[in-house]
Amino acid sequence: MTTAEQQASGAATTRDGFAVLLVAIRREPWVFTVSTIGSVLFGALTVADAWVLGWSTDHAILPAFRDGEIGAGVLVAVVALFLGVAILRAVGIVARRLGAGIMQYRMQAHSRRAVTRQYLRLPMAWHQQHPTGELLSNANSDVEAAWGPIAPLPMAVGTVAMMVIAVAQMLATDLVMALVGLLVFPVVIAANLVYQRFSSPLMTRAQQLRAELSEVAHESFDGAMVVKTLGRETEETARFAAVARELRDVNIRAGRVRAAFDPALAALPNLGVLVVLAVGVQRVIDGASVAGDVVTIAYLLTVVAFPIRSIGWLLGEFPRSVVGYRRVSAVLAAEGEMPHGEARLPRSGGGARLVVDRLGYAYDPDQELLREVSFEVAPGRTVALVGATASGKSTLTSLVTRLVDPDDGRITLDGVNLRDLAPGELAASVAVVPQTPFLFDDTVRGNVTLGADVDDAAVWEALRAAQADGFVAALPHGLDTRLGERGTSLSGGQRQRISLARALVRRPRLLVLDDATSAVDPEVEARILAALRHGGPAGRTADADADAADAADAAAPSLLVVAYRKATIGLADEVVLLVDGRIADRGTHEQLLARNEAYARLVNAYETAEPQEVTS
């Protein structure tokens, strides 16, 4: 980068940094005002110290040396002045620091909430394009970096006022000594600019590396089982260490730059004080000034150096702030939020009618996955989706639950296009149980209810329907047993049944099972599907009378099941065979076995553990 480019980059960073601060000031004007008033009070009283020091020199210290005594009234006045200034300055410090802290933490909380809300609004397609580590970094370290300059902001504003007052007092006290002392200003400002030019690129790179380090760490921790079972600990450690070493080296280089400039920046005002003292002594000898004026200006010169340094601290935070704010803003400006209408769905009335009409979907123009897919799930009926790997089954379940929107065609629920539903309506009527269950580090109750207002009786009903009540009752603390991160204390089949109970407790009108019972033995799976076909959590029991059984059947949710086992598929009212993103055939399990050789090979292959490709 050329010198001109460095200057342009530094100027842009400074401009953007002040723009970020303006956003915070507009959002929290009153807190900023209070903290700034406190800072100005601190600055004014710090300058007042110089006047008190000069007045005390002329009216107390020098007369004491000359007369050998000091009057009690003068002594009381000196003590009162110093004590009053100290108390008021302390009030200013408290107001400044408290206001800056409140303002900074409020802005961080606001940004984190905004980022989190945006994450929830954005579709799964957007999330699939962004690593989890990057998203965590956006909501954490980037937010902190964005509002880092707020902490020194009130101090910088107050010290500017301090500098103006101090310079005015210096000029009023002795013009010659003031001009001599102020010669140090251009030198200090130039040193600060050089420091910013060297440190800004390093701080920017450090912020970027923090996000990369978070991404690598998240991948390694999230894939701990793969890393352990394949013996990749050394390679993952080396991958993490490479980024960590680069971050360390960048921080060290930034520290070296600061270590080189800090002593220089601190020494320059002191050199100015020495020059002022030399000139001032000569002026006192010549009778052009008095000792009190020399002390006042020397002290004021040390005072005005502090505002320059505090402004330097503020500018030093700008590179990280601008990078963090840009990364957060990129999330908040991301497009792809799914549109919603105002349509509502009934909360009861049995299963919902699902209609998939000429559906088409592609991950990109060259990778079309679903084409002209049409089928229907009648209320209370069960439809099984069957197909070879990569035939589009899981993608179809994502479309039905509107995790993503189709490119062509439409999906309706009880005659209402999913795009026309009000926010939250689909989730209130449709539940999905994915292939890989996810359990939180919470109790059984917490994992089933997810904070919803559901009583324990309804939780046990859902667990019974999912055939999970037996092992949950045997746990040490029943519903209050903590399951550990991702439910590590349970087997795969138990995790699937807890995940199923989580869906059932909400009494959905359409239940989508994406191979949700693959880790459950066939006998238990058959009981689960039978319970779902006859009313879900409130399904029929062995001793139910005929009317109660009919009522339970009428309340049964509609089921869309991605299945592989022949026994599971045989329980469906209709089977839809997907081949290369198209519906190749449909009918009952027996009909497809009899007439479709490809279907027969597929379902038999899963039972014999000899998978075969299906051709249309």
- One-letter amino acid for residue 173 of the chain: T
Helix (H), strand (E) counts: the chain: 24, 10
Q: pLDDT category, 542, cuts 50, 70, 90?
A: very low
- The band of 546, judged by pLDDT with boundaries at 50, 70 and 90, is very low
pLDDT in tens, 152-187: 777 777 767 767 777 777 777 777 777 777 777 777
pLDDT of residue 405: 83
pLDDT over 90, % of the chain: 0
Helix crossing, 291-332 with 72-121: angle to 10°?
10
- Please state the pTM of the whole predicted model: 0.64
Whether the predicted pLDDT of 408 surpasses 70: yes
295-310 pLDDT, tens per residue?
777 777 776 666 666 6
Please state, for a pLDDT cut of 70, what percent of the chain lies above it.
82
- Nearest alpha-carbon partner for 103 in 18, 34, 162: 34
Domains of the chain and any CATH numbers? 13-332 (1.20.1560.10), 359-608 (3.40.50.300)
Angstrom CA distances, 16 to 248, 321, 326, 602, stand at 27, 9, 10, 60
The pLDDT assigned to 614 comes to 41
pLDDT tens digits, 548-569: 444 444 567 888 888 777 777 8
Higher per-residue confidence, 159 vs 479: 479
pLDDT of residue 342: 83
CA distances from 551 to 375, 454, 526, 546, 554 (A): 27, 23, 21, 9, 5
With 0-12 CB in 10 A as exposed, 13-18 as middle and 19+ as buried, what is 419? Answer: middle
Assign 541 a pLDDT band (cuts: 50, 70, 90): very low
pLDDT in tens, 337-387: 677 788 888 777 678 888 988 888 887 767 778 888 888 888 888 888 888
Instruction: Judge whether 1 and 198 are in contact, CB under 8 Å.
Output: no
pLDDT, tens digit, for every residue of 253-283? Answer: 888 887 777 777 767 777 777 777 787 777 7
